[in-house]
Structure 1
Amino acid sequence: NYGPWVPPFVAFLEPPTDPVGEGIGHFLGAMSIDGFRPAQDFKDHLDNWIERFKSAKTVDPDKKVIIPGEPEFAYEQERRINGIPLIDVVVHDLNQLAKKLEIEGL
């Protein structure tokens, strides 16, 4: 759901009666940290939060605690070295499209 169909964030408001999706939606916002507190204080607090979570014991000792963005960062590093993996069917389709448009393919 998006726009006027996004369910309200408070329980006392009724959701829209004509939703366009299955109730899944996303919100992305950005705020200037220093509009709320000194940026260094925030960074120090976040470093403390990360250290606390990363040092937590897991149920399975073979697994570790990860924080948001960590897997994506690891993939980025790996793909900078080895490139982005492509699915053969997608490569074929893109090459067919490139041929049709008379541009260089993959």
Structure 2
Amino acid sequence: MILQDKVGLVTGGTTGIGRATAIALGAAGAKVVFSGRRDAEGEKTAKLIRETGAECLYVHSDVSKEEDIKALVQKTVAAFMPFPLLLAFCWQDLSKLFSKAIS
């Protein structure tokens, strides 16, 4: 699998393009952390990811809030690091906020 031993982090992963991205990362062998605000949809997405054979973690978060981004990064690190991290922002470009949260 092309993404074995990698971790995919997807924001906005509970529906639409974010959900499709999270499932595709899992199908390609990555461990998947995804976030969103709708917990019921998060549970559905987690089930779909696990059906690919991938491990996953849903984190309830609102990426417009810096403290939620920090918590998302901390939970990702706690669950799956030191694997290389792939980021997929499916709502807006959050790279500056994620860089700040990681450092």
- TM-score under structure 2 length normalisation: 0.18
Structure with greater proportional strand content: 2
Larger relative contact order, structure 1 or 2 (CA cutoff 8 Å, min sep 6):
2
